[in-house]
Amino acid sequence: MGRDKNFVSRAFDALIAGRERQARLYVERFERDYRSGNRELTKR
């Protein structure tokens, strides 16, 4: 390692990692809830 990251850079990386985890969980839940492609989303 040539140089350690400063506090702001580490905080920003942690924020991005948290958002990526949250987005992955959201997509997994969406795929689980709306798996069947033939089902309509609205009841019209």
Q: What is the DSSP string of the chain?
A: --S---HHHHHHHHHHHHHHHHHHHHHHHHHHHT--SSS-SS--
Average pLDDT of the chain, as a whole number: 83
In the numeric block, which tokens belong to residue 5?
């990251």
Residue-wise pLDDT for 6-26, tens only, equals 999 999 999 999 999 999 999
Residue-wise pLDDT for 24-37, tens only, equals 999 999 888 887 66
Would the pLDDT of 5 be above 90? no
